[in-house]
């Protein structure tokens, strides 16, 4: 992991991680595919996990008062189960299959949001059974390639949360998921001392990007913020689906 090309791509990937932890939607999902240009995807996911965890600490502080606790009580146990399923099936289920399924779900959901007029109104109460399903899918896909965003979005976006509560709940949930993933990643050999040294360097630009992300969330109007969320979901889900169908 040397050379100017690697470091340019790695720093850009870490900035995407930081912006996402600052509350900007799903941009961190671009980090693993980007790093996969210069290393195997599994190695890229392992390298970025410590970067996620350092960034999480800044995000948790920034959004410590903007959290929907009921959502977390539903999603956190389900995501833990999803991480366990991802760990148990890591050698049996092709990553392409999971990525393709999640990409198809995300594309369909984003198009539905963009093409249909969304009702205005107060935040909705989260339903438990759909939350358990989508939370499990989010944990599993997050384990595979840090791509837990589309299932999470499919469940949370219709609830019409305040943008700061949305950003805070997202940050707290995935900080928890990243901590849960630490042991399985170590057990599978995706974490090493050499990776850790590189990750700590990359955590610096990621941490700065967290602060930039928080600032952007605060100044973007709520309607435009969720439109950005939806378009980002469509773009990333489309990339997952495309890669699953057309990759060698």
The rounded Cα 63 to chain-centroid distance in angstroms is 16
What is the Cα–Cα distance from 133 to 173, expressed in whole angstroms? 15
Average pLDDT over residues 172-177: 92
**23 in Cβ contact with 213 (< 8 Å):** yes
What is the Cα–Cα distance from 146 to 38, expressed in whole angstroms? 17
DSSP secondary structure, 107-160, as one string: HHHHHHHHHSPPPP-SPPPPPHHHHHHHHHHHHHHHHHHS--HHHHHHHHGGG-
Instruction: Please state, rounded to an integer, the average pLDDT across all residues of the chain.
Output: 84
Question: Is the model's pLDDT at 71 over the cut of 90?
Answer: yes
- The reported pLDDT for the residue numbered 238 is 83
The widest CA-to-CA distance across the chain, in whole angstroms, is 52
Question: Is the model's pLDDT at 42 over the cut of 60?
Answer: yes
201: number of CA atoms within 13 Å, CB side? 13
Confidence of residue 202 (pLDDT cuts 50, 70, 90): very high
42: number of CA atoms within 13 Å, CB side? 14
What is the Cα–Cα distance from 134 to 88, expressed in whole angstroms? 18
According to DSSP, residue 210 is labeled H
Selected residue with higher pLDDT from 56 and 122? 56
* Least confident range of 78-87, 170-179, 223-232: 223-232
* Least confident range of 161-165, 168-172, 232-236: 232-236
The rounded Cα 244 to chain-centroid distance in angstroms is 18
Average pLDDT over residues 8-35: 83
**146 in Cβ contact with 20 (< 8 Å):** no
What is the Cα–Cα distance from 152 to 139, expressed in whole angstroms? 9
What token pair was written down for 48? Answer: 């970025």
7, 10, 11, 230 from 4: Cα distances, Å = 5, 10, 11, 34
- pLDDT tens for each residue of 117-162: 665 667 788 999 999 999 999 998 888 767 788 889 889 988 989 8
Torsion over CA: 16, 22, 26, 29 (sign): positive
Selected residue with higher pLDDT from 234 and 98? 234
According to DSSP, residue 193 is labeled H
Q: Which residues of 140-168 are buried (b: 16+ CB within 10 A; e: fewer)?
A: bbbbbbbbbbbbbbbbbbbbbbebbbbbb
Q: What percent of the chain is predicted at pLDDT more than 70?
A: 91
């Amino acid at each position: 992991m040397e050379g100017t090309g690697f470091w340019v791509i790695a720093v850009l990937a870490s900035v995407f991680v930081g912006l996402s932890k600052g509350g900007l939607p799903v941009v961190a999902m671009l980090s693993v595919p980007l790093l996969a240009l210069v290393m195997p995807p599994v190695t890229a996911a392992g390298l970025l996990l410590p970067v996620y965890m350092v960034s999480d600490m800044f995000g948790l502080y920034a959004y410590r008062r903007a959290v929907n606790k009921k959502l977390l009580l539903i999603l956190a146990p389900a995501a833990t189960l999803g991480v366990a399923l991802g760990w148990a099936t890591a050698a049996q289920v092709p990553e392409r299959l999971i990525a393709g399924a999640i990409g198809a779900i995300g594309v369909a959901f984003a198009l539905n949001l963009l093409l249909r007029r969304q009702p205005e109104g107060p935040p909705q109460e989260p339903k438990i059974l759909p939350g358990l399903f989508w939370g499990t899918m989010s944990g599993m896909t997050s384990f595979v390639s840090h791509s837990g965003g589309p299932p999470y979005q499919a469940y949370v976006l219709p609830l019409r949360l305040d943008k700061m509560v949305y950003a805070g709940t997202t940050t707290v949930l995935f900080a928890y998921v990243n901590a849960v993933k630490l042991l399985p990643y170590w057990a599978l050999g995706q974490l090493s001392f050499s990776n850790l040294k590189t990750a700590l360097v990359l955590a610096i630009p990621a941490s700065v990007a967290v602060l930039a992300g928080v600032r952007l969330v605060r100044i973007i109007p709520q309607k435009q913020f969720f439109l950005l969320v939806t378009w980002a979901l469509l773009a990333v889900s489309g990339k997952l689906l495309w890669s699953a169908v057309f990759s060698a």
